[in-house]
Chain A
Amino acid sequence: MNEHAIQTKGLVKRYEAVCAVDGLDLTVQRGEVFGLIGPDGAGKTTTMRMLAGVLRPDGGQALVLGSDVIGNPEQVKEKIGYMSQRFGLYEDLTVAENIDFYADLYLVGRKEREARFKRLMEFSRLGPFLGRLAGKLSGGMKQKLGLACALIHTPDLLLLDEPTNGVDPVSRREFWKILYDLLAEGVTIFISTPYMDEADRCHRVGIMEKGKLLISDTPEGIRKGMKTRIIEIKCANPKKAVALLQKMEGVADVVFFGDKIHISVRSQKPDESSIRKFLEKQDTEPRSVRAITPSLEDVFFELSDRP
């Protein structure tokens, strides 16, 4: 048995002049939650679709659960569950009809279906809405229904394309709870998200931009490897401070964070004390200056070499 749930080498997909995925090398281990993060247009959906066998790549290799999805996309379909970015279910069918339809397409046996159905209802809490048309569900409910349909055949690998996009925070938290339950059952989860904060919920993350994987590691590993230090500053006169900091040598980026200022420093030179001194001299009355743990968003900006 292959160790990896997903393994790609030099995966390429072009749309006319644009290279949506540009030589992607990616490895996802069995039993982990792997998060693919990156801005819109980074190539996340295209990658997802190629792995699900929905889209034919223009080059490279892709093994999913040990089978070649490029040469034989059908082989692995029984074993994967996939949720597309857009709601892919029938809005004019009821919740129950949608689930039944997918159970039928996967030829799930009656007995197994009953057990599975009960289990799905438990965690998704869709039970009271079985007779409702899917189109009349809220955004969070729709995503849960999508997940239920993708899980009806007990897949080994779940491919989720931005499942929490546009979902309220409460539903988002619930959704993740469900994912952890699945993980405990041994399901591998490959999830993409434009939200950097969600990456911390994953075992490992890959940061993608312009069709390329910039880095792939655990969230901590990524942070450790970062050269940039993030320094948080509180002061009495933030506007003036920002203007000054932008001109300070060694400061890569200055951003407001509510009433605080975050600056990125990409070298050792201006450290906390020197910054404090600098600001004190300029009458901006700094109250606190301290280094904080960089977020993955900061990592992304460092890696993509944006200001």
Chain B
Amino acid sequence: MWERIVQIFKKEMIQIFRDKRMRAMVFLPPIVQLIVFGYAATTDVKHISLALLDEDRTTVSRDFVEKFEAGRYFSVARYLSSPAQADVLMDKGEVDAFIYIKKGFEQAIKKGDGADVLIVVDGTNSNMASVTLGYVNRIVNAYSEEILTEKVMRLASLRSGSSVPVLIGPTVLVERTWFNEDLESRNYFIPGIVALLLTLIAVMMTSMAIVKEREVGTMEQLIVTPIRPIELIVGKLLPFAVIGYIDVALITAIGTLWFGVPLKGSIPLLFFSTAFFLLPALGVGLFISTISATQQEAMLSTFLFFFPAMLMSGFVFPIDSMPPAMQIVTYADPMRYMIHILRGIFLKGLGVRYLWVDFLGLFVLGTVVVGFAVMRFSKRLK
């Protein structure tokens, strides 16, 4: 049995590495993906440009505006003279947010009435808008707290006559982020690329390689040999498992060494989990090969699987924010488990003790998919 598997494997490897396009398919996608997710695709919000309309023009209002400019997130791009100007700037996309300080800001604060400030955010990009509002909230809260503390202290010193301040400040929230301390989105994405690429290789390259034999006519010649279907299947799938491993190593190396993504967990566990993920992924590839007559069909079917699987995996959009019905559907998505395992290993350094549920999920899903695909795979022409 193994002799034939080895021969198919060898033949496949020669073909893959002899073909320029196939060779590129092995090394190029991981590098492109790393560049895209490492540099360009970031959900971090920086450089928010503001339009400012300060009708108060007092030291207090200027002090307030300075709070925005002090941080690294905001910069005032335009000073306006009327609110109507903000409309145009927003439409053009020149500014992301608009701050409107009305006349009487200083007075209201001094009187202790509480002052109103209007902030308008461009909600076209909802993610950016909510992050912006978060920053604004934080700045405004800090500012209010400052004023409040100052007032309380002045009040206290007036009453007691002493200069010892009585602190009755409000509850203070101390923020700490664990596991991805800098909230770098690349740390979040790069481990996920492993799952993304393994899926592409295992599903697309595998299904195309099998369908190619049928399309070119070599399958017919294979069928008349005494090779058993299982030998043919294993021999055809193994090379892509190997390529998958090459890419996992490549992404891990570049991700950690070049992009500085932390790898807190164990590398053996990472490779171990790759095998678990390859089971359902190769199964899907095999299944697609049984329903596609041409390589083009196989490629289209791959994307039909790939995009929903990626979107539901939690790679970009958190599963917890999906509607409950959708959350249930994600359990059928092998990428979901793998993304969780990868982030667990890379960012948290988790071991099997915490990840076994995902391993089990992959194993069950893999067995079902592979079983179904093998049943459909027939050593005959149609």
Contacts and interface: CB of A to CB of B under 8 A. Distances in A.
Given A56-B380, A88-B217, A106 B15 contact: no
Interface stretch (B183-191, B218-226, B264-272): B218-226
Interface string A78-95: 101111101111111100
A74 B380 CA distance: 11
A244 interface: no
A92 B19 contact: yes
A49 B18 CA distance: 31
Contact of B221 (A55, A80, A89): A89
Nearest to B18: A92
A224 to B, nearest CB: 37
A105 B4 contact: yes
A53 to B, nearest CB: 7
A74 B227 CA distance: 9
B14 interface: yes
Q: Chain A: interface residue count, which band?
A: 20 to 34
A54 B227 CA distance: 13
B3 to A, nearest CB: 6
B4 A104 contact: yes
A93 B220 contact: no
Contacts of A83: 221
Contact of A89 (B3, B19, B218, B224): B218
A52 interface: yes
A77 interface: yes
Interface in B242-273: none
A88 B215 CA distance: 10
Contacts of B7: 101, 104-105
Contacts of A107: 3-4, 226
Nearest to B232: A105
Given A77-B225, A77-B226, A93-B14, A84 B220 contact: yes
Main secondary structure of the interface of A (DSSP, over half): loop
A52 to B, nearest CB: 5
Q: How many interface residues does chain B have, given as a range?
A: 20 to 34
B227 A90 contact: no
A195 interface: no
Interface-centre pick from B3, B218, B222 (highest chain A CB count, 10 A): B218
Contacts of B325: none
Interface string A45-58: 00001001111100
B381 interface: yes
A113 to B, nearest CB: 13
B224 A77 contact: yes
B11 interface: yes
A138 B3 CA distance: 32
A88 B11 contact: no
Contacts of B228: 74
Contact of A54 (B11, B15, B224): B224
A198 interface: no
Nearest to B222: A105
Nearest to A15: B382
Given A54-B220, A86-B217, A90-B218, A102 B225 contact: yes
Given A90-B15, A92-B15, A107-B3, A82 B217 contact: no
A272 interface: no
A73 B225 CA distance: 11
Contacts of B225: 77, 102, 105-106
The 6 closest A-B pairs by CB, nearest first: A88-B221, A86-B217, A104-B7, A82-B224, A105-B225, A77-B226
11 contacts: A54-B380, A78-B226, A84-B220, A93-B11, A93-B14, A93-B15, A97-B11, A101-B11, A107-B4, A107-B226, A149-B221
